[in-house]
Structure formats: C-alpha cells, structure tokens
Amino acid sequence: MNQRTRIKICGLTREADVDAAVEAGADAIGFVFYARSARHIDLARAEVLARRLPPFVTPVGLFVNASDADIAAATAAIPALLPQFHGDESPQDCARAGRPYLRAARMTAGFDLLDFASRFTQAQALLLDAHVDGYGGGGKVFDWSLIPSDVPLPVVLSGGLHAGNVIQGIQTLRPWAVDVSSGVESAKGIKDAVAIRRFCDAVREADARSAASPA
C-alpha cells in the first residue's frame, strides 16, 4: 500500500520560515535546542514560533545530551513538542521525557542499525542522518545502502536532502518521512521559501510516482 511521505523542515528560527513551511505543506517543523548549532534558538523564541503552528503540524525539539530539567521546561512551554534525541542518550534517558520521541541514528559503515533499533523500541521513529564530527546534522548524504530493509521502526530519512535528490531517496527507501534543513536554506538558520516549496513539491511528486508504479 502506498503511503504519503511525511515532511519535516528542521532548524527554523524565523516567523517567515515557519509560515513558509506550513504553507508548503510540512507535517512537522524542528527547533534546535543544541547551543553549539548555528541553528540554535532559545526556548522563549521557540515558544513564540510554535504558537504560529496550526493544528496537525507538529513542533519537534532537537536535543543533544540535554538535562532532564531542560527537556521538561521545553515540553511544558510547548505542550505538543515531540523530542528528538540526537546525542548519546540511552533508552532510559529518552524515556524520562515522558512522551513519544524520535531517536537519531548517525549512519556510518559498521553501525548496526538493527541492534540500535532493538534498544530504542519505544521510539516513534528512527531519524537516520550522516555521521559527522560533533552532533546534529551536517548536511551530508550518507550511503543509503547501509539501511537494512527490515528496520522494525518507521524511518525518517535525513542527511543532505534537497529537492534534487529527495525523489530518489523516497523511491529507493520508501521512508515514513523525510527531514530537511540545510537543503532549503539561503544561509545557516535562514530558510528559503522557494526552496521549501520545491522540496515539498518534490516529495509529493515522488509519492505520485510510487502510486502510479506497479506494485
């Protein structure tokens, strides 16, 4: 059965970018709470931006080895916030958030994604990104052949996606969702409304091609 690929636009810092993502049809938008990221925003700013979201568009908070207190403050300020853990968090660390979450996996040769998935069974999905120095996204595409065909959790494909390669990614992997940040930017943390629209249109084109192809 063909499914609609969900779309997450990450690293939003401005009202105009939130509005552009919503207008283009994004299902989720991401706020980066990792202080060392060029796309970092503080909680007060994220709370303001999250208020612009209409129903059924999910705010996601990206955390890297954050304290329980910081995570609790964020989920209290933004009640619909879906945590995304991008650091060295254990399953127990993630569970203490007390709500559904996404777990990022940093893909590289030799990484056992199936073992990783078996430890994070409570995650709503695994977000697969390239392994780069430090934490967070590096805007790099990883080797998609590293992804086993039998991952037991929904997959969010990330890492260097843009309008020019997301169709191939969807057709090759059939992920539950795709995640983009640098691929729709004019500068770090500054999104481009036209690029956002092109990316979302490309995702819908990929879904249409999948629906039209023989089973």
Instruction: Output the six-digit token pair for 44.
Output: 């007060």
Residues in the chain: 215
Let me know if 129 is a catalytic residue: yes
Yes or no: say if 156 and 177 are a contact pair by the CB < 8 Å rule: yes
173 C-beta neighbours (distance < 10 Å), count: 17
For residue 210, the SS3 value is helix
CA distance 146 to 60: 26
Determine which one of 17, 129, 179, 207 is catalytic.
129
Let me know if 133 is a catalytic residue: no
Determine which one of 10, 17, 200, 207 is catalytic.
10
Residue of 25, 31, 26, 27 whose CA lies nearest to 13: 31
> What would you measure as the largest C-alpha separation in the chain, in angstroms?
50
Residues serving a catalytic function are 10, 129
